[in-house]
Structure 1
């Protein structure tokens, strides 16, 4: 489609925001190259919270959406995150906005996108009130989504019943998981905060660390090293893939694995795991099948709205996978509330001895202290002589 410009009068009283346009139909790919002050141009119907969090982290001046940020299908959380962060969000700009040259300087004024003085597209600028009203309407559509959820759940169960029920198709790996705790990190909701508060747990229990795609980079950024990286390799960095972790490439059921060549080009020979579900589900099934005692999840999906954020194809697999590993699965927030770093008896004794030595050293540095230590030494000699006389008698 050809980009059409039309002249729009702009008076000196108009302000808005402006910056270089960065365009990509895949929001996840765009956030990797956004810089503060850029104008993000996306085509993302029903912006989910994970995508919104990534956009907020990149700090663009505005987000221009060719599609509807809230279609009414379900109450998605992304638009609320964006407007609360103070980012200008303009909806329904149409496909023409995607024809902007990448890097072109644009200005956004009251829902109108301008390039110079020419109008590129016109949409609805969202604010907290309009988002709240749209979410109220969207909640009425949940019943249809639940019906679709049930249908997709049955389809997935029929297709993957051998994997879910018997573990058939789970590949062999070299990482030792049997009988150990496993921490699975997904770059999802509040993953940074959850990973930070789990530092004492990681230090004491030394769980097997599994990064799901970009979750591997989150583990590295937290100061740890992943033992396993699982995913289709579309959002993980070369740094993570080359860190020495074992790589499990999530492939389609027919064996196609788009991320396989990328891993091999780095000189790493990965394990391939064909499965219909999401990479998050594959990591959980792998940990469960290999004998994990406890599976702690960071950034994964747990609530109904979070399942819906994944889309119909993903939410059913996640739901059934959680049923499959439910007895072992613990959410990161649950661990942070229940777990407290413990101090062993040996550590207490060593701490007490260290304190006593510090007191003795301080006393030995003063004349009064030396006199006191001398008196204590004399008393100790008297006591040992008395005990010796008892045994001698």
Structure 2
């Protein structure tokens, strides 16, 4: 009789289990690896933060803060929130631990779960997995380009080809106020609903990000920030594009881009993959000058990105591609007898110490069952050891793709297997 669990995971909080979890781990590690190659150090953030950190940092007009945060009071009545994004938490940590007093820029990378209460869709969960980077303390177009190039390198590392990078500039403090007033004047003349009008008063850019067809049609002729940049903001953006050209990073200009968080300034970007349908974003970010000061720290600039690991896995699948499972073993041990089993356990330890991935059959299976397990493991070779082999000081090394088997001395197993694996 099949038993069913009394408990199930909450909706939108996925389990990651073999064999599918292998793709998740491989993609996440490749994205992090691209950041490591550029000198980004690891930061580990708490899951819970003071709710005010996100209200002030992310922006009260955003959907993230107004609709999607998991917020509750702790046992002392303090309002806490399960982190919906990474940048505000990194800024809090940088301020709290005085990272600005060291070498600048501070370059940090993180990976882990984030939480948003939203409709569950393919690759969009309430517990979402992201890889992110933040570079804090230097306002340099070359640094903007490096951060974008790190994300691009991560996608290339996993083998994605069908994505595109969209970039724009959201201006700076010298031009945003005048543009804000211009955009609000434009929006005031439109027949918008009351909620949208309130949003336009708090942050009119949010209206340009509205996905409703009727609102998009009304705002089709809205003034665009990229056409009203100050000389300094335009020069900064032009230099970013020059550096991207020098790095060989392809991009398209998207002057209507509005990211979902309020802290972005100047360089803003998004990676999209049309194979995912309407929800095509797989990652993005931008510069957030002024955020650290707004959170009570020094007036340091910053730029970063967040990449959806689940979305990237789906994009790979849409291209018909996959990555090798990091947990797939190279060698599988097939013991034929108790004494052989003990020897193979010790042999597996020596092989793992040499960096070779090894598993083996347990539970006293017969040769037929053990060889089936070897085939299912995905290993390239099997080590077949019986009592006669043990007495002769040998073990069989079987190529599982060709079926060929040869005997090798027990004392030479590490060297022979290493050579066979190439």
Smaller-chain TM-score bracket? under 0.3
- TM-score, normalisation: structure 2: 0.20
- TM-score, normalisation: structure 1: 0.21
**Which structure has the bigger radius of gyration?**
1
Q: Which structure ranks higher in relative contact order (CA pairs < 8 Å, sequence separation ≥ 6)? A: 2
